Chains A and B, each alone.
Chain A
Amino acid sequence: MNNFRIIKNNIKDAFKSVFRNFSLSLASISCITITLILVGVAMLLSLNVNNFTEDIEKDVTIVAFIEKGTETSDINAIERHIRSLANIDSITFLSNENIRKEMSTESDELASILNQYDSETNPLLDEFLIKVSDVERISETAHQVEEIDNITSVRYGEGMVEELVKVFDIVKNITYIVVIGLSVVTVFLISNTIKITINNRKRQIEIMRLVGASNPYIKRPFFVEGIVLGFLGSILPILVISWGYIYLYQKMGGIVFTQVITMVNPDQVLFTLALELMAMGVVVGAFGSSWAVRRHLKI
Chain B
Amino acid sequence: MNLVEVKNVYKQYKNGVTALSDINLSIPKGSFVFVIGSTASGKSTLIKLLYRQEKPTRGEVYVGGINVAKLRNRKVYKLRRKIGIVFQDYKLLPQMTVFENVAFALEIYGLRKSEVRKKVMTALEKVGLKEKFRSYPDQLSGGEQQRVSIARAIVNDPKILICDEPTGNLDPNTSLEIMEIIDSINKDGTTVIMATHDKDIVNKYRKRVIAINKGILTSDKENGGYI
Binding site for B on A (CB under 8 A): 1-6, 9, 20, 203-204, 206-215, 217, 299
Contact = CB atoms under 8 A, between A and B. Distances in A.
B91 interface: yes
26 contacts: A2-B111, A5-B110, A5-B111, A6-B107, A9-B107, A203-B91, A203-B93, A207-B93, A208-B108, A209-B77, A209-B80, A211-B80, A211-B104, A211-B105, A211-B152, A212-B80, A212-B81, A212-B108, A212-B156, A213-B108, A214-B74, A214-B108, A215-B77, A217-B77, A217-B108, A299-B73
Contacts of A1: 110
Kindly name the residue among A3, A5, A209, A211 whose own CB sees the greatest number of chain B CB atoms within 10 A. A211
Closest 4 interchain pairs by CB? A2-B110, A212-B81, A212-B80, A211-B105
A9 B112 CA distance: 11
B20 to A, nearest CB: 21
Interface residues of B, number: 23
Given A211-B104, A213-B77, A299-B73, A206 B110 contact: no
B161 interface: no
Nearest to B74: A215
Contact of A6 (B74, B76, B110): B110
Contact of B76 (A3, A204, A209): A209
Tell me what chain A mostly uses at the interface: helix, strand, loop, or mixed.
helix
A207 B84 CA distance: 11
B74 A210 contact: no
A211 to B, nearest CB: 4
Contacts of B110: 1-6, 9
Contacts of B105: 211-212
Given A211-B104, A211-B105, A215-B74, 12 more contacts: A3-B110, A5-B110, A207-B93, A207-B104, A209-B77, A209-B80, A210-B85, A211-B108, A212-B80, A212-B105, A213-B107, A214-B77
Contacts, number: 57
Nearest to A2: B110
Interface in B100-154: 104-105, 107-112, 152
A299 B110 CA distance: 21
Given A6-B110, A9-B107, A214-B108, A207 B91 contact: yes
B109 A2 contact: yes
Nearest to B91: A207
Contacts of B80: 209-212
A299 B52 CA distance: 13
Interface string B40-68: 00000000000100000000000000000
Contacts of B77: 209, 212-215, 217
Nearest to B96: A204
Contacts of A215: 73-74, 77
Contacts of A207: 91, 93, 104
Nearest to B80: A212
Contacts of B73: 215, 299
Contact of A206 (B91, B107, B112): B91
A116 to B, nearest CB: 93
B13 to A, nearest CB: 18
B199 to A, nearest CB: 28
Nearest to A298: B73
A211 B95 CA distance: 18
Interface in B67-87: 73-74, 76-81, 85
Contacts of B93: 203-204, 207
A136 to B, nearest CB: 55
Contacts of B74: 214-215
Nearest to B84: A211
B88 to A, nearest CB: 14
A2 B107 CA distance: 10
A203 B94 CA distance: 10
